Chain A
Amino acid sequence: MAALVKMPQRARAGEVIEISVMAAHPMETGFKPGPDGRLIPRNIIHTFTCNDAGVEVFRVDLSPAITADPYLAFTMVATRSGMLEFSWTDDRGEVIVEQRQLIVE
């Protein structure tokens, strides 16, 4: 699984930065029949979180009828330098994790 993260590498203290993320995921709703005519079991990313050095700064509960490869954009206030950790968890329990360094000056 792959994910894209777009964010500035550097920010001033107190600056509001925008982060946009996209993860590769089929987001199967559970209502779609497969080639054999049977319903494909539901498998969606149900939770996305962004942690700043262990502190949760952003969280989304996703639902069915959200596009494949879901794209999310959010803002946060840059307060200190550190490693941001992004994680996506799906119905099968698979977790995609990406990390990015943020330098606050």
Chain B
Amino acid sequence: MKPDTAAPDWLGRAYRAIQSSGLCAVTGMLALTTLTAQAVEPLRSGFDTMSEPIQAMQRDDDANPGMLSVLQGRTIWSREPAPARPSCAACHGELQTSMRGVAARYPRWDEGGQRPIDLSGRIKACQERHQQIAASGSESPQRLALTAAVAQASRGMPLSPDPDPRLAPPQARGQALFTRRIGQLDLSCAHCHDAAWGQRLGGSLIPQGHPNGYPLYRLQWQALGSLQRRLRNCLTGVRAQPWPADAPEYVEIELYLVSRAAGLVVETPAVRP
């Protein structure tokens, strides 16, 4: 089957994009089947599929660019945000001990908001409630740095999803989002990350798509970024309309991703190409 090169319609372009991306071997099968989510076996962190130099960069705290943000986050942790307002350390104490294991259990149920909340959202809520400051935006370097510093304290601990039953319905919605076809390319997350991981999309290896290193430093971004930002990347990649910032869909899909990746260790701040 060859695309009609004389017809410059979007379908032909999309076909060629998929063909050149190396997905052509699976698209025929995918066109006929709707995938249901399944456990990926064996679990492989994105770390395992990276090249040796980037792995070395992540391993070495003196070479890992994500550590720059972690250092900034530690400064924010121990600094008073405004005169006579408590620092994070004033309530929680020492970062490495008090926050050990916290990131491995998120997202959790927020009693105040009656909704699931991710680690960055919890930090925002804490800043607004207890420090009474206007928290910076979810993609701001400050929030990313503080989130990275908190998550780094759990590095090496296995992701252990919160068994709270109130999290089950949003997690099920996240699973539905993961398997639902979206965008002009009409692909779901599962089409790549469940069914085609290990194959190539252009020059890049398709990873299983685990959330165990966020916030992480992407060399392509030249900056630390959140899981939300990464999800937006994938959404625009399949030419779908990304959800607005801090939309509930992000936490729902994170709940499902964490349940799918349970057992992988926290790598924050991870480095990815």
Contacts and interface: CB of A to CB of B under 8 A. Distances in A.
The answer to whether A and B interact is: yes
B87 interface: no
**Chain B residues touching A, range:** 10 to 19
Contacts of B68: 2-4, 22-24, 69
B48 interface: no
A104 interface: no
A57 to B, nearest CB: 19
B67 interface: yes
A67 B218 CA distance: 13
B224 to A, nearest CB: 10
Contacts of A5: 62
Contact of B223 (A4, A20, A22, A68): A68
Nearest to A4: B62
B207 interface: no
A67 B62 contact: no
A69 B223 CA distance: 8
Contact of A6 (B62, B72, B223): B62
Interface string B63-81: 1110111011001000000
Which of A1, A2, A67 lies at the interface centre, i.e. has the most chain B CB atoms within 10 A of its CB?
Answer: A2
A6 B60 contact: yes
B63 A4 contact: yes
Contacts of B75: 2
Contact of A2 (B60, B72, B222): B72
Interface in A37-68: 67-68
B63 A69 contact: no
Nearest to B222: A68
B69 A20 contact: no
Interface in A1-26: 1-6, 20, 22-24
A71 B63 CA distance: 9
Contacts of B61: 4
Interface in B189-208: none
A68 B63 CA distance: 14
Contacts of B71: 2, 4, 24
Contact of B69 (A6, A24, A67, A71): A24
Given A2-B68, A3-B68, A69-B68, A22 B63 contact: yes
Contacts of A1: 72
B65 A22 contact: yes
A84 B63 CA distance: 19
A3 B69 CA distance: 10
A20 B63 contact: yes
For the complex of A and B, the 4 pairs showing the least CB-CB separation, nearest first, are A6-B62, A2-B71, A24-B68, A68-B222
13 contacts: A2-B68, A2-B69, A2-B72, A2-B75, A5-B62, A6-B60, A6-B63, A20-B63, A22-B68, A24-B71, A68-B222, A69-B68, A71-B65
